[in-house]
Amino acid sequence: MSADPTTVAAVLRQQARARGTQSLLVCDDERLTYGDAERRSAHLARHLIALGAGKGSHVGVLYPNGARFVVAMLATARIGAVVVPFPTMATTAELHAQLLDSDVELLLTAASYRSHDYVEKLSGILGDVGSETIFSDAVPQLRRVLIGVDGAEAAAPALDAFEDDVDGADVLAIVYTSGSTGTPKGAIHTHAAMLTHQRNLNSIRGLTPTDKLFCNSPFFWIGGFAFGLLATLTAGATLVCSNATDAARTLDLLEAERPNVTNGFTAGIAHLTRDPSFAARDLSALRRGNLYPIMAPDTRPADPALRHNMLGLTEAGSVVLLSGDESDQPEHRRGSFGRPAPGFDIRIVDPDDCGPVSTGTVGEMCLRGPYLMQRYHRRSREECFDADGWFHTGDLVRTDTDGYVYFIGRRDSMIKTAGANVAASEVEAALARADVTAYVVGIPDTDRGQIVAAVVVLDDGATFDEVAVRERLTAELSAYKVPRKFAVLRRSEVPLRSSGKVDMAALEKAFDA
């Protein structure tokens, strides 16, 4: 039996031969078959070659989820160039920063998306982006910006020669972190590492050619890029996504396409459940995955904390903790994130001295293995890994005697109050069990160093009973973990970063009054 292909080009050719008329992607009104993906990406790849791109060139991709992103990613990867996805919600300053940091030479971009005018943003950075060749001191290495094109007919060397020169050890992508805990960093991943990792994950979650995966993660972040798009490609499955702002349109799509697997972030589908038509919708096909609120009623857990969660990292090439068991777990396994994915070694160390910790003790998770990033772009391996090759994730976890891992929180989000450590995530989970949506932060205090505080998020018309919530929390948490201060914001008042994530630093200002 021949080995699995280790480059994107080889995987695409294999899938196009096997299932050319099957849909690779369905995104709202767009439909891209495997055959279409092969032909359109070949067309664009030849255009990129004619423009001077080739093996090792850095090509930026600034498109929302959809066929153009897929075609651009495939075309870039086929010629051995490096795919650099850009977030569609980036501000002008953030766009400029990533253009500089990523060494992008050619940018494939939409003209606009929702409220974002990319031509205007790029013009503000570069000047005239309509020029055939760009020379700008603002981004010295950038030479071309192609706006909304799949490529034009061009005389170019045979594409096969470029594809045959690509090896599994070559760099496939530089995927940037979301920047939720600092400046975004570009994680370098190779073809073979990303593709093999996704095959392993597909085996665990049972993703096959007969499956349709509904994913609401953006393709420019690792969850959508790898666990969504690359996973679908390697499995030969169909990926369903939606950019519609109207919940009814997305629900129409789900009813029509009937995906059976889900993956993504629950907050991104909450608006679907609030649509007046939701209760009458037939979503019975949605039976596997983690988007519980929209899944078939008989598959939804009574308590999501009794289902294994997943943990993914940009640096790990997507999901690194998971379980293939989607049934409710016993109470002692509440909050489990499963076990490490194949190919990953895990080590839990004391956050302060990096010494080993005992089973059940909270420590920082360190990872090692062949599917980790090579390094961060513009940084040496010595800056990214310790002397023994371990990557220190900054995630605080504990393990049980069966090897299951429990995520506690980020190292930089721990609250130190009167000498004790409090994980914000633990308090948030207790509040959630009291049917309260809240973000927990530590705010400075003269006597205790920090105190635990919670910003409660309410829908319009809802009220917050602080006395009742305090009583509930006191029964569940040690006294030092119960928030000493509460602030209330309406959902529309929650400060967001350009990434769409909550701006925790701005959130703390709710207690300034």
Q: Which pLDDT tens digit goes with each residue over 424-442?
A: 888 998 999 999 999 999 9
| % of the chain surpassing 90 pLDDT | 82
Exposed / middle / buried, residue 139 (Cβ in 10 Å: 0-12, 13-18, 19+): buried
Would the pLDDT of 296 be above 60? yes
Q: Produce one character per residue of 343-369: b if its CB has 16 or more CB atoms within 10 Å, e if not.
A: bbebbbbebeeeeebeeeebbbbbbbb
- State the Cα–Cα distance between residues 388 and 252, nearest whole angstrom: 52
User: With bands split at pLDDT 50, 70 and 90, how would you rate the model's confidence at 124?
Assistant: very high
- State the Cα–Cα distance between residues 355 and 393, nearest whole angstrom: 15
Q: Which two tokens stand for residue 205?
A: 């979650």
| Structural domains in the chain plus CATH codes | 8-231 (3.40.50.980), 244-300 (no CATH), 311-410 (2.30.38.10), 418-511 (3.30.300.30)
- State the Cα–Cα distance between residues 399 and 69, nearest whole angstrom: 39
Strand partners, 83: 59, 173
Q: Produce one character per residue of 141-163: b if its CB has 16 or more CB atoms within 10 Å, e if not.
A: ebbbbbbeebbeeeeeeebeebb
| Three-state secondary structure readout of 204-267 | HHCCCCCCEEEECCCCCCHHHHHHHHHHHHHHCCEEEECCCCCHHHHHHHHHHHCCCEEECCHH
pTM of the model: 0.89
| Region of 221 on the Ramachandran plot (φ > 0 left; ψ -120 to 50 alpha; else beta) | beta
- State the Cα–Cα distance between residues 150 and 499, nearest whole angstrom: 27
Chain mean pLDDT for the chain: 94
65 CB-near residues (< 8 Å, 6+ apart): 27, 218, 219, 224, 241, 243
Q: Tens digit of pLDDT for each residue in 205-233?
A: 999 999 999 999 999 999 999 999 999 99
| Region of 419 on the Ramachandran plot (φ > 0 left; ψ -120 to 50 alpha; else beta) | left
Would the pLDDT of 1 be above 50? no
Q: Tens digit of pLDDT for each residue in 379-392?
A: 999 999 999 999 99
pLDDT for res 267: 80
> What secondary structure does DSSP assign to 330-373, as a single string?
PGGGTTB--EEPTT-EEEEE-TTT--B--TT--EEEEEESTTS-
Q: Tens digit of pLDDT for each residue in 184-208?
A: 999 999 999 999 999 999 999 999 9
Least confident of 2-6, 39-43, 392-396: 2-6
Biggest CA–CA distance in the chain, Å, is 73
Would the pLDDT of 416 be above 90? no
DSSP three-state, residue 297? helix
